[in-house]
Amino acid sequence: MRKFRALVRLELLEFFSKYRTGMGYGATKRGRGLLVFTLLLLGIPFINMSIEAYQRFWGWGRPELGVAYMTMMAYLLLTFTAIPLLFSLYLHSRDFQFLTPLPIPTDDLVLAKLVVVWLYLTGINFVFLFPVALLVGLDAGLSVWSFLFSLLLIVVTPFPPLFLSSLAVLGLSNRRANRNRKSLLSLFFAFALLGLVLAAQLLLTNEGAARLVAWTERLTRLYPPAGWSAQVANGSLLGLLKYGALSFLCYWGLKRTVRKLYWSALLFSGTRSARRPVTFDYRLRKKSWQLLRRHLLLIMKQPVFLMNTILSLILPGLVFLIGILSGDLAAETLLLPNEQKRLLLFWLGLASTPALLTNLSATAISREGKAFWETRVLPVATWTNLRARIGTTILVNLAFSLLVTVVFFLYFPLEKLALLPGLFFVMMLTIFLAMTDLVINIYRPYLHWTNPAAAIKNNLNVLFSLAYRPLLAVIPFLSAVCFPGAGVYGILFYSGLLLFLLTLLVRKVLRTIMVEKFDQISG
Amino acid sequence: MLVLEGVSKTYDGKRMAVNRLNLAVNAGEIFGFIGPNGAGKTTTIKMLTGLLPPTEGRIMINGVDLAASPVEAKRNFTYVPDHPEIFTAIRGIDYLNFIADMHEVPTAKRRTRIEKYTRMFAIDDALGEMIHSYSHGMKQKLLICGALLPQAPLFILDEPLVGLDPLAAKHLKEIMVHHCAAGGTVFFSSHLLAVVDQICDRVAVINQGELVICDRVERIKNDFAQSLEDIFLELTQDA
């Protein structure tokens, strides 16, 4: 048992140290405290949702359905959370290599990892399911038993989703292609989770009472454990027995599947796949294209970089969409003919946010990390090297701005005339910021990171680059003051022109002072 | 082929990593660059490859000033570092094509050379796989293939034999010898004094940033009447 405890401790340390370093906190007492504080902060929206579920269903006279609803959501949430975790802990873990030769029973090795996932999921359950279960228990006159039952409910609920996840991972792990697409899987499940949480919240706030109650009842009939969980929260011993039996069965199955995952992981790490004869493309390509491709791949192939980029690109659009779906932002008023100016501002705001928030250039050098030396020893002019980094930022941000524009013009009756000055302004803003942000990274390169999050999140470059953005408000203000009769489109055009002139200036600085400064960066 | 004139590197304006280094490496020569850890070998190599600007002095590669015409100078050499830290989320073939594109190697030649070198170093069947799945030795071999691909006149190799299996090490040594026989130049640093003794025409010993000795291997051994290992220890321990 001592060995098992030591193993669990090791696994927990490794698991949470990844989170800690990912958030940029040090391995100090303060760092650990900050991690706990951050996790608690992240739990607040879940607690709110749980309480809201209780309040809604209580308001409709069926509080116990709140538990059933949250149980079903918890099953989905925990399954989606567990799949990438199991993938990472079992199939992509390197510690099996040194743990397996140790005199420890295989079951202990396998279960120690499982304990980590179970603890993590139980933690989620505590903020997601426990509040609603406790409140329903209180409704039924809180007794020691119903409190204990609610606690048991939280502790055993992760087993069925874990079992389902382990089956899914086992199925996926049989295909080598999927094993090599760990980053894609992580990304898919991260967005599935985000979508699920949003959907759960929107359903609660927007769906009509009768429909949601009927929908929950129907699903509870189809999936009885959700009903049993509601009975457990009400203090029913029979409900607890049924729920407990199901969880025990799932735990039993889970032990077997994760054992298979362990053997599969060992087999996978020790062998290479049979190599298929492949034909390669040897065509000569332009240097600038190859450099651009390299920087795009640096973002796309690193899950942390990709996730960060996509989230900062879609977040403003998502907020706008949620605003419309939740009714906080009335779509009907935006469709009114006299709302053109407001609509124009919304479009410009959304189309400009990639340039304003996705400050890729501020980390364009840091992202390369220890591989920075590669392009420095090649016969490539420094300016070409810098241009590829700027080009990557412009390409990503402008592509998204154009996508937003197409969607916006499809759904809202904006004047087509707005396209020309609007896009000119957005384009100039994107180019200007892509160039200026690179100056920051040239002055403050950070190449010796081990955790990719440190390269893009936890350095001051990103903050510096965001800090000067409010100053850009001066540009349209100046345009409006200098050209009072220009109108909205005129102001946009003159602002774009001003940005163009500023871009020329920054370009000059980059080509002279910054090129020299870049060459001084030691790889 | 390679000339260093009074090259120095100072960190933070105080710590002298390399002090007024003067070296001339001739075409057709295998030049060994040895010294204890922290002697300034890697700093010197970083300056030769353009990764670090010298605090003072001049570096000429094939008659081209590295500081004045870096692109032209870099066309004349390829470099293998002591650590295979490269962008690993691409396939081996993508890495080689990238290097070939940067050195503008034409399609037909690159195909022949990629096939030749990757077969020689036994990584030809792994070219379609992601580099992050490669072992340390395979990454080192890929870097070596990348460095051989453009057939630049000068190879700069920092500890190139670390991580290579005996057959690959043998091939690399043969390639170095053939390259020099064809008029090319190899500048390489190593802690493996037996290899330096075996293949180098001339050797330079650096210690605490300063050149201690630079001469033909045979002449050094005759002058000191000792093995290269003993000479190295004597020269670097006294300082």
ipTM of the complex: 0.88
Taking contacts as CB-CB distances below 8 angstroms, the residues of chain B near A371 are 85-88
Closest Cβ opposite residue B101 in set A287, A301, A381: A287
SS3 string of A80-104? HHHHHHHHHHHHCCCCHHHHCCCCC
Nearest CA in chain B to A279: B128
Q: Which helix (H) or strand (E) holds B189?
A: strand B185-189
Taking contacts as CB-CB distances below 8 angstroms, the residues of chain A near B75 are 379
* A229-253 mean pLDDT: 88
* B27-43 mean pLDDT: 90
- Substitution target in A91, A187, A282 with the highest count of B β-carbons within 10 Å is A282
pLDDT-derived band at A499, boundaries 50, 70, 90 = very high
> How do the domains of chain B map onto residue ranges?
2-76+153-238, 84-151
Alpha-helical runs (H) found in A444-486:
452-456, 460-467, 474-482
The pLDDT score that the predictor gives to residue B109 is 93
Closest Cβ opposite residue B130 in set A180, A302, A520: A180
Contact B128 A287 (CB under 8 A): no
The pLDDT score that the predictor gives to residue A177 is 46
CA distance from start to end of chain A: 48
The pLDDT score that the predictor gives to residue A54 is 87
Estimate the crossing angle of helix A237-270 against helix A144-156, to 10 degrees.
20
Enter the DSSP assignment of A365: T
Phi-psi region of A188 (alpha: psi -120 to 50; beta: other; left: phi over 0): alpha
B86 touches chain A (CB under 8 A): yes
| Six token digits for residue A376 | 């420095």
The helix/strand/coil state of A371 is helix
B115 touches chain A (CB under 8 A): no
Contact A374 B50 (CB under 8 A): no
| Helix (H) and strand (E) counts in chain A | 25, 0
**Is it true that domain B2-76+153-238 has CATH number 3.40.470.10?**
no
The pLDDT score that the predictor gives to residue A458 is 61
pLDDT tens readout for residues A465-488: 999 999 999 999 999 999 988 888
pLDDT tens readout for residues A388-403: 999 999 999 999 999 9
CA distance from start to end of chain B: 30
pLDDT tens readout for residues A47-67: 888 888 888 888 888 888 888
Q: CA separation (Å) from A198 to A158, A202, A242, A264?
A: 21, 6, 31, 35
CA–CA min distance A425, chain B (Å) = 35
Tell me the average pLDDT of chain B: 89
pLDDT-derived band at A314, boundaries 50, 70, 90 = confident
Cross-strand pairs, B202: B31, B216
Contact B86 A374 (CB under 8 A): yes
Residue A106 CA to its chain's centroid (Å): 34
* A25-31 mean pLDDT: 74
The helix/strand/coil state of B173 is helix
pLDDT tens readout for residues A188-197: 777 777 777 7
Alpha-helical runs (H) found in A326-451:
331-334, 340-357, 373-376, 382-411, 419-443
DSSP assignment of A160-224? HHHHHHHHHHHHHHTSHHHHTTHHHHHHHHHHHHHHHHHHHHHHHHHS-HHHHHHHHHHHHHHSH
How far apart are alpha carbons A502 and B149 in whole angstroms? 43
* A282-293 mean pLDDT: 93
* B170-193 mean pLDDT: 90
Nearest CA in chain B to A373: B51
Contact B51 A180 (CB under 8 A): no
CA–CA min distance A448, chain B (Å) = 11
* A175-203 mean pLDDT: 67
- Asked if pLDDT for residue A267 goes beyond 70, the answer is no
